Amino acid sequence: MAELPDKRTAFMDWYLAVVEASQLTDKRYPVKGMNVWTPYGFRARRQLDAVLVREIEATGSAAVEFPALIPSTEFAKEREHIKGFDAQVYWVTKGGLTDLDIPLVLRPTSETAMYPIFAVWVRSHRDLPLNVYQIVNTFRYETKTTRPFIRVREIHFFEEHTCQANEAHATERVRSNLAAFRRMAEAFALPYLPIRRPEWDKFPGAFYSVALDAPVGEARTLQLGSIHHYRENFSRPYGIRYEAPDGSQQYVHQTTFGLSERLLGAIVAVHGDAKGAVFPSAVAPYQVVVIPIPGSEAGEGPLRTATEATERLHRHGLRAHLDGGDERPGAKYYRWETAGVPLRLEVGRREADSRSLTSVDRLGTKGRVALDRLEHEVAERLAEFDRALRARADAAFAAAFSTATSLAELAGSTTVRIVAWCGSEECGHRIETAIDGALLGTPEEPLPTPLGDPGPCVACGATNGSRWAVAGRPL
């Protein structure tokens, strides 16, 4: 069993090795950027989706599903939008042997699939708000190097689309999405920062975009998702109007909220360590692995006790897996640690006789759990583990940012940088050149360490209107 590359000095090699070793995906599919979801990876994805569904439905959103193919005529209605996706869409131009009259776009995202139908659904102010979401595959012809979960061509995509009566209600929906994401990230034990993207980096067609960024070591960041306010930018070309109480016709204001399997990539990237992946219990494919240790005189006791324990955990809704194979216990420990299972229960002769199992969590904390109080004590161990994992991630998050007061300081940054910025695009690009990355934008929520007033812009020295901005190297 080969050792993993060093996470700090060879991050991407480490990431790829962990994804491979933990068997979350199989990258051998013959189309680049389209990964096979393995049984273990699919389990993780299903748990992840369950968190997204739970939290978005708590805010009054309903599931829908729209077709994957969009007529080019609908796709072309919003000019900024099509310009933004032109180089990334897959086309369907033939039906069998016949050229299609109207070529079809394989959805890169679903605005242009949904909005002609929204124009039919929304008639009156009583039809608002319209809050719907879908979890579907979308397709983007990615030209940069693809990475499992982080940059793919077939995306497992969560997208919420809403119609609101006016700009203020749409702003309120953005706030509601930010709060929903806070609760999702809590389940993933992921610290992150919501950042309003600069004008030149917002979603094509958006009024503004807020991205959810997580630092993943050095100056690197990973965008976990994004929330957009569209104002009337889509409702006008698609004719989504309603009759207001005073009888006038008004265009709706729209918002969207997008997430993807990048969350899984972020969980691996943020929580993973020298031993491999580490899953918080809410999304762990298996929360507990039970390993019987048959010694020379152990007889049937350990396997029988391990089986009983696994079944009990199952009955109480815990995702437990019995590894009763004939490998050495040490090899099993190693494999499940690499795969990131939060808690291991070991059952040898001593444990079988005393009806209390040895527990070892993925961060190395050892203990014993009484078989008679098994589900209760396992739930406690998992909660303790989640708290410790969150504390470790929070410490890394706090250390991931530092301020810089000149462009020269940005070169070779080993953390994400906080700089004063006057807001001009020209200075923004100078900051990007200096850090060899991107100006991610301005924080929507307070930074982990409170900052004073921003001084002069690091690029031009202007003090008028300067604000704190975040610069890093997005993966």
Contact residues for Zn ion (CB under 5 A)?
422, 427, 457, 459-460
Return the number of the residue (350 or 467) whose C-beta is nearest Zn ion.
467
Q: Which is nearer to Zn ion, 132 or 419 (CB)?
A: 419
C-alpha 56 chain-centroid distance: 14
**342 phi/psi in degrees, rounded to 5:** -60, -40
When the beta carbons of 51 and 427 are compared against Zn ion, the nearer one is: 427
Q: Which is nearer to Zn ion, 295 or 455 (CB)?
A: 455
Cβ nearer to Zn ion, comparing 187 with 420: 420
Give me the least distance between CB of 206 and Zn ion, in Å please: 24
**In the complex, minimum distance from the CB of residue 391 to Zn ion, in angstroms, rounded to a whole number:** 38
- Beta carbon nearer to Zn ion, 131 or 466: 466
Distance of closest approach, residue 421 Cβ to Zn ion, in angstroms: 6
Residue 218, φ and ψ in degrees, nearest 5:
50, -140
Query: CA-to-CA distance for 206 and 210, rounded, in angstroms?
Result: 10
Q: What's the 3-state SS for the chain?
A: CCCCCCCCCCHHHHHHHHHHHCCCEECCCCCCCCCEECHHHHHHHHHHHHHHHHHHHCCCCEECCCCCEEEHHHHCCCHHHHHHHHHHCEEEEEECCEEEEEEEEECCCCHHHHHHHHHHHCCEHHHCCEEEEEEEEEECCCCCCCECCCECCEEEEEEEEEEECCHHHHHHHHHHHHHHHHHHHHHHCCCCEEEECCHHHCCCCCCEEEEEEEECCCCEEEEEEEEEEEECCCHHHHCCEEECCCCCEEECEEEEEEEECHHHHHHHHHHCECCECCCCCCCCCCCEEEEECCCCCCCCHHHHHHHHHHHHHHHCCCCEEECCCCCCHHHHHHHHHHCCCCEEEEECHHHHHHCEEEEEECCCCEEEEEHHHHHHHHHHHHHHHHHHHHHHHHHHHHCCEEECCCHHHHCCCCCEEEEEECCCHHHHHHHHHHHCCEEEEEECCCCCCCCCCCCCCCCCCCCCCCEEEEEEEEC
Give 178 or 460: the residue with its C-beta nearer to Zn ion: 460
User: At its nearest, how many Å lie between Zn ion and the CB of residue 459?
Assistant: 4
- Smallest gap from residue 214 Cβ to Zn ion (A): 27
Distance of alpha carbon 18 from the chain centroid: 17
Closest contact distance (angstroms) between CB of 429 and Zn ion is 11
Q: How far is the CB of 452 from Zn ion (least distance, A)?
A: 19
Spatial contact of 85 and 142, defined as CB atoms under 8 Å apart: no
Which lies closer to Zn ion via its Cβ, residue 174 or residue 427? Answer: 427
Smallest distance from the beta carbon of 194 to Zn ion, in angstroms?
23
Which lies closer to Zn ion via its Cβ, residue 404 or residue 457? Answer: 457
**Min. distance of Cβ 465 from Zn ion in angstroms?**
9
CB closer to Zn ion, 180 vs 410: 410
- The distance of closest approach from Cβ of residue 203 to Zn ion in the complex, given in angstroms and rounded to an integer, is 25
